[in-house]
Amino acid sequence: MSMSAKRIPLVDERRSVASVCCYCGTGCGVQVTAEAGRVVSVVGDAHHPANFGQLCSKGRALGDTVRHDNRRVLQAMLRPARGAALQPVERELAISQVADRLAGIIERHGPDAVGFYLSGQLLTEDYAVFNKLARGLVGTNNLDTNSRLCMSSAVTGYKQTLGADAPPACYDDLDHADCVLIAGSNMAYAHPVLFRRLEAAKARRPQMRVIVIDPRRTDTAHLADLHLAIAPGSDVALFHAMLNVLIWEGWVDNDYIARHTEGFAALKARVHEFTPKAAADVCGVPADDIVQAARWFGQAGAALSLYTMGLNQSSSGTAKNVALIHLHLATGQIGKPGAGPFSLTGQPNAMGGREAGGMATLLPGHRDPANADHRAEVAALWGVAGLPVQPGLTAIELFDAAATGKVKALWIAATNPASSLPDQAKVRAALERAELVIVQEAFADIETLAFADIVLPAATWPEKDGTQTNSERRISRVRAAIAPPGDALPDWQLAAAVAQKLAARLAPTQITNFAYASPADVFAEHVATTAGRDLDYSALDYATLDQLGPQQWPFRAGQGTSRLYGDGHFPTANGRARFVDVGYQPVAEATSAHYPIHLTTGRLRDHWHTLARTGLAPALIRHVEEPVLSLHPADLARYRLAEGELARIKSRRGSLVLPVVADDQLKPGLAFLPMHWGRAFVASEGVNALTLPAFDPHSKQPELKHTAIAIAPAKLGWQAIGWLGEPTAEARQRLLPWLQRFPYAVLVPVAEAGGGWRLRLAADTAPALAALAELAQSLGLSQPDAALDDPARSVLRRLNLSDAGRPTAWLLCTDTRAATALAQWSDGGTAPISLASLFSGRAAARISRVVCACIGVREDAICQGVDRGLDVSGLKAELGCGTGCGSCLREIAGLVERQQSLTH
Ligand SMILES: Nc1nc2c(c(=O)[nH]1)N[C@H]1C(S)=C(S)[C@@H](COP(=O)(O)OP(=O)(O)OC[C@H]3O[C@@H](n4cnc5c(=O)[nH]c(N)nc54)[C@H](O)[C@@H]3O)O[C@H]1N2
Ligand SMILES: Nc1nc2c(c(=O)[nH]1)N[C@H]1C(S)=C(S)[C@@H](COP(=O)(O)OP(=O)(O)OC[C@H]3O[C@@H](n4cnc5c(=O)[nH]c(N)nc54)[C@H](O)[C@@H]3O)O[C@H]1N2
Ligand code: SF4
Ligand SMILES: [Mo]
């Protein structure tokens, strides 16, 4: 049975659907139960082959992220003029406006004045309709996605070596590998359910060797038998040296190389100079470790590698991928259980996007827009005269073209470029210069909305129906459990609605059919594009997926395929895989006397990207509430910074003020910033104010993993902190302007008392009293229920209380000692004896962080447990921490080690 979107408005029926988690590319199956139009539970699907019922902290908290209508885009909106506020309008009017204004721009400037910027979080059906709209109707290849920031180096790496964009391995291989090489991946945070599976496999077979290649000693690295903390960007030198050792010590499979590959001789000559000693100098790791890694890889019965952004997000991302794949080809470690180069996908459906041609450089069915035959094949399938020849602009190029005025219209869906693209100053210029910015969004607190001329309200998980492909090529049905709120519609429907109007304007004679009755219809049209291609799943439809469950492509003769290339035949012209003679290139931006620190950016355990969804779940906010810059303790000392003090972080493009913390898992000279908090949360333009747009020449993927920065103490003597227990988008809007008025400012969602916003400000001197009064007003504290102000010292201490006597808002300016006590009280703690004692009391200890998100166990409880003599299993038994998803166990073990070393 196919479930069309039309069947959804279910009011009081109880309904339980099998669907898939909307976060990472692991693609865990979930069972979503809804009643009376509300989700009542989300649990792991024991039958789904990606996770067999397990979920990580983010998956387990999915239920808490649903609906939140006061934080959603519920209606279409138009901005009457730049600078004016967005106005709600009828959805049909907004759709007509999009079509009319696009038609106008196409008529005046041609189809390439339009660009689409989409997302690996769209469903395959969404991509399919957008792609047909962009290339088949508008007539431009300017359709790219945030996968350009994410997976495009994996795509080019696979295509250059194996001939097609297909991860050859599967999750089952984690159980069979003898050596697992994890490169540039912090799976413990980013693919936790797969990481749990790897941990279990290693516990069962302790002889399994795990090698982790990451400049930082991450939670993932703690599982490793060997951690190579290489200098950022030096992976190619390392992989070449490993190949050098494999050749020198005779671990290569000459028979496999001769029968199934080409190009080895040239590469062999190239890697000759990459001795372990030479690579050790480049990578900053001992030569012996490189030899050891190569030996373990070479000696393994089955060798598997897992890799993500540490390889892809690099100006040599393709070369890094290729150099890693070489190790597998040279040893025949591919196409058999436990073996293969396995790129883990970041977003839930980045794979589906690659299949549906959701990048400027791809056409549906793994085709190439530069290939005339491929264009003709797709045109025939779509029933259009032809596809555009002009190459499309990729993400960075597209925004550059908008900044110079070449691209006039940008249609952005399910991605937040005003936070996530590098070099935000340029992104801002592009979004301001573009004549028409269409933002198709589900959530309200999103940076990019500030630049929208037209907003289309999007449905989101679990309101959407369609399909999604995970890292192991497995296609699952995503099933809607509830109806979308307000006027929101699934993305494919919004795209199809505009397309129908636009077709009437632009191409009344072309047969471009966008009248799909349901996502099943879109899927049927999409699968036809895979027929006869390497990924062929043309035999799949929703009925088959409902009946057989999730399936891995290629799907032929009624069966999915778990591993590729077992026969040694590759989808290249001559059937041979290719060694590519690639050199080593250092990072694009070298450090210098002025910018001496290497900055890398990445993910935290419980946050997802720019926080739209995870920012709604109390359990997820509490692990790390605010952005901080991590530095090695020696660097803190060198810059005369104490933990928690504010530092000014500067790159050649922008700057940012944040507190610093000591992290001995970093090397001196290396800093880490989480990617999650953009300009909606911090002063200036957020973390990507710093990053640079330099990209890999083949994949066009930007180097988000390395920026040269400078650090100095910010010396801001005045501070304020406020809290508003009103978890709405409007409340946030009232506080937002403060971010741009202070050198240091953060505005973050917090979990206290059911949710709200915390605002923290700092400046060198106290602002004028009028400004403080204005600040109090934006928190609703002009006439507070309680106050202890001292205007002569710029001190404001104000509090509002509910009828039940609980804080609903508070503000502390200049004297912030009461902040912790207030936060504890707001969060359900006991009331103070008197307000005077509260406001003038000694600074209470900092509120301890929640380490275990599933059970809600804080750091102080764990440390007290250790003081009572508990070890990790004792803590699990007594406090319950670590008994949910298990993602926090490494952190708990670290606390046990630290606490024990303090007491011994
Ligand atoms: N919790 C959580 N999980 C997520 C996401 C999320 O936002 N939050 N996002 C999903 C998405 S879209 C993606 S793309 C994935 C990303 O998953 P990962 O790639 O695993 O995550 P990152 O933290 O971006 O980066 C991984 C590691 O690369 C290392 N690194 C930096 N430079 C180099 C280098 O030059 N060489 C090597 N070898 N390593 C380097 C960093 O230190 C970091 O630990 O996560 C997915 N899963
Ligand atoms: N410095 C730095 N920057 C990075 C990275 C890094 O490691 N470091 N990583 C990069 C990578 S790998 C990635 S993948 C990107 C991610 O960056 P983004 O794609 O910008 O991040 P998200 O916050 O996931 O954005 C998704 C948006 O879609 C909205 N949304 C959710 N569901 C739906 C839906 O169903 N339909 C529609 N229309 N909208 C929806 C959400 O509200 C949100 O605004 O960031 C990149 N940027
Ligand atoms: S590992 Fe976690 S975030 Fe990723 S799909 Fe599974 S439950 Fe979702
Ligand atoms: Mo990603």
CATH number of the domain where residue 189 is located:
3.40.228.10
Please tell me whether the overall predicted TM-score, pTM, comes out greater than 0.85 for this model: yes
What whole-number distance in Å separates Cα of residue 658 and Cα of residue 676? 14
149 pocket-lining for ligand 3 (C-beta < 6 Å): no
DSSP state of 847: P
Same domain, 58 and 127: no
**pLDDT mean over 435-459:** 97
Q: Which pLDDT value is given to residue 829?
A: 86
In a domain, 563, yes or no: no
- Say if CB 735 and CB 745 are below 8 A apart: no
Q: Say if residue 274 is in the same domain as residue 288.
A: yes
Does the beta carbon of 150 lie inside 6 Å of ligand 2? yes
Element (H, E) at 187: helix 187-190
Does the pLDDT value for residue 634 go beyond 90? yes
The verdict on residue 544 lying in a domain is no
CATH number, domain of 30, equals 3.30.200.210
CA distances from 659 to 629, 711, 713, 742 (A): 6, 11, 9, 14
Distance of CA 450 to the CA centre of its chain: 21
Is the separation of the CB atoms in 738 and 745 below 8 Å? yes
Burial (CB count <10 Å: 0-12, 13-18, 19+), residue 288: exposed
Which residue of 73, 77, 415 sits with most ligand 2 atoms within 8 Å of its CB, as the best mutation to test the pocket?
Answer: 415
Whole-number Å distance between alpha carbons of 595 and 597? 6
Final residue belonging to a domain, choices 680, 699, 715: 715
Residue type, 448: T
- Predicted confidence band of residue 848 (pLDDT cuts 50, 70, 90): confident
**Residue 1 belongs to some domain of the structure:** no
Q: What is the dihedral of CA 413, 60, 562, 523, to 10 degrees?
A: -40
In a domain, 422, yes or no: yes
CB proximity list for 875: less than 8 A, separation 6 or greater: 862, 865, 866, 881, 882, 892, 896
CATH at residue 866: 1.10.10.1100
- pLDDT tens digits, 747-779: 999 988 888 999 999 999 999 999 999 999 999
How confident is the model at residue 462, as a pLDDT?
98
Triad 718, 721, 727: Cα angle to 5°: 155
352 in Cβ contact with 346 (< 8 Å): no
By residue count, the chain amounts to: 904
**Residue 735: both structure tokens together:** 């506080």
Co-location of 319 and 298 in the same domain: yes
Domain identity same for 40 and 166: no
Tell which residue, 634, 654, 631, has the closest CA to residue 644: 631
> Does residue 27 have its Cβ closer than 6 Å to ligand 3?
yes
Is 838 found in the same domain as 735?
yes
Q: Which residues line ligand 1 (CB under 6 A)?
A: 24, 150, 183-186, 189-190, 213-216, 218, 232-233, 235, 308-310, 346-347, 600, 602-603, 605, 607-609, 705
Average pLDDT over residues 158-170: 98
On whether both 864 and 730 belong to a single domain, the answer is no
Stretch 648-657: mean pLDDT: 98
pLDDT of residue 175: 98
Which atom in ligand 1 lies closest to the alpha carbon of residue 231? 35
Question: Given the DSSP bridges, would you call strands 179-183 and 303-307 parallel, antiparallel or unpaired?
Answer: parallel
Q: What pLDDT shows up at residue 844?
A: 66
* Confidence check: pLDDT of 903 > 90: no
Give the span between the Cα atoms of 759 and 810, in whole angstroms: 10
Is the model's pLDDT at 159 over the cut of 80?
A: yes
Residue nearest to atom 6 of ligand 3 (CA): 28
Give the pLDDT mean for 843-852.
79
> Which of 150-159, 620-629, 740-749, 817-826 bottoms out in mean pLDDT, i.e. has the lowest?
817-826
For 278, the token pair is: 């030479």
pLDDT tops 90 at residue 831: no
Please name the residue whose Cα sits nearest to atom 8 of ligand 1: 608
Whether 121 and 167 map to the same domain: the answer is no
Best of 186, 327, 677 to mutate for ligand 1, by most ligand atoms within 8 A of CB?
186
Per-residue buried b or exposed e for 670-707, using 16+ beta carbons within 10 Å of the residue's own CB: bbbbbbbbbbbbbbbbbbbbbbbbbbbebbbbbbbbbb
Identify the band that residue 5 occupies on the pLDDT scale cut at 50, 70 and 90. Answer: very low
Cα–Cα distance for residue pair 141/395, rounded to 1 Å? 12
Tell me whether residue 177 is in a domain: yes
- The Å distance, Cα 565 to ligand 1 centre, comes to 28
Over residues 657-697, the pLDDT tens digits come to 999 999 999 999 999 999 999 999 999 899 999 999 999 99
Spacing, Cα 259 to ligand 4 middle (Å): 36
Q: Within this chain, do residues 124 and 196 fall inside the same structural domain, yes or no?
A: no
- Map 531-565 to HEC letters: CCCCCCCCCCCHHHHHHHCCEECCCECCECCCCCC
CA distance 73 to 89: 12
Contact indicator for 315, 588 with CB cutoff of 8 Å: yes
353 lines ligand 3 (CB under 6 A): no
Tell how far the Cα of 602 is from the centroid of ligand 1, in angstroms: 5
Mean pLDDT of 76-91: 97
Task: Indicate whether residue 678 lines ligand 2 (CB < 6 A).
Answer: no
What value does the mean pLDDT take over residues 277-292?
98
Domains: count for the chain: 6
How many Å lie between the centroid of ligand 2 and the Cα of residue 416? 5
Q: What is the mean pLDDT of residues 139-143?
A: 97
Strands 209-213 and 226-228: parallel
Q: Which residue has the tokens 């190009």?
A: 263
- CB contact burial 373-393 (16+ within 10 A = b; e otherwise): ebbebbbebbebeebbeeebb
- Asked whether the predicted pLDDT for residue 595 surpasses 50, the reply is yes
Look at residues 842, 877, 894 and tell me which one is the last residue of a structural domain.
842
User: The domain containing residue 21 runs over which residues?
Assistant: 15-65
If asked whether residues 822 and 878 sit together in one domain, one would say no
323 occurs within a structural domain? yes
pLDDT at position 508, please? 65
Coarse DSSP helix, strand, coil percentages of the chain, rounded to the nearest 5 percent: 35, 20, 45
Q: Which amino acid is at 367?
A: R
Residue with the two structure tokens 């917090």: 750
Average pLDDT over the chain reads 95
Kindly report, residue by residue over 402-422, the tens digit of the pLDDT: 999 999 999 999 999 999 999
Decide: 199 and 236 in contact? Cβ < 8 Å: no
**CB 55 near ligand 3, within 6 Å:** yes
**Cβ atoms within 10 Å of 593's Cβ, excluding its own:** 6
Alpha carbon 477 to chain centroid, angstroms = 21
Q: Are 617 and 720 in contact (CB under 8 A)?
A: no
Comparing CA positions, the residue from 591, 114, 650, 130 lying closest to residue 390 is 114
Tokens of 535: 């990924």
Q: Best of 148, 420, 443, 706 to mutate for ligand 2, by most ligand atoms within 8 A of CB?
A: 420
Q: Examine residue 550 and state whether it is found in any structural domain, yes or no.
A: no
CB-CB contact of 346 with 308 (8 Å): yes
Residue 828 has a pLDDT of 86
- Ligand 2 geometric centre to CA of 345 (Å): 14
Q: Please compute the mean of the pLDDT values over residues 366-375 and round it to a whole number.
A: 97
pLDDT confidence tier of residue 1, bands split at 50, 70 and 90:
very low
Residue located nearest, by CA, to atom 4 of ligand 2: 420
**In this structure, is residue 321 part of a structural domain?**
yes
Report the atom number in ligand 1 closest to the C-alpha of 218.
Answer: 44
pLDDT band at 8 (very low <50, low <70, confident <90, very high): low
Mean pLDDT along residues 267-285: 98
Kindly give the residue spans of alpha helices, DSSP state H, lying in 304-389. 309-312, 317-331, 350-355, 372-382
* Predicted local distance difference test score (pLDDT) of residue 99: 98
| pLDDT score, position 432 | 98
Residue type, 507: A
Ligand 3 atom closest to the Cα of residue 20 is 5
Cα-to-centroid distance, 215 and ligand 4 (Å) = 19
Given a cut of 70, whether residue 42 has pLDDT beyond it is yes
In the predicted model, what is the mean pLDDT of residues 460-479?
Answer: 98
pLDDT > 90? residue 9: no
Instruction: Let me know whether 231 and 138 are in one domain.
Output: no
The tokens for 436 are: 């028409």
CA–CA distance, 881 with 803 (Å, rounded to integer): 35
Of 309, 471, 624, 672, the one to substitute when testing ligand 1's pocket (max ligand atoms within 8 A of C-beta) is 309
Closest atom of ligand 3 to CA, residue 57: 2
Ligand 2 atom 30: residue of nearest CA: 414
Are 193 and 218 within one domain? yes
What is the rounded distance in angstroms from the CA atom of residue 805 to the CA atom of residue 815? Answer: 23
Instruction: Please compute the mean of the pLDDT values over residues 21-39 and round it to a whole number.
Output: 96
Cα Rg, the chain, nearest whole Å: 27
Q: Is the CB of 460 under 6 A from ligand 2?
A: yes
The residue-averaged pLDDT of 510-527 equals 91
- Asked if residue 731 and residue 702 are part of one domain, the reply reads no
Residue 170 to residue 472: CA distance in whole angstroms: 5
Domain boundary among 343, 378, 404: 343
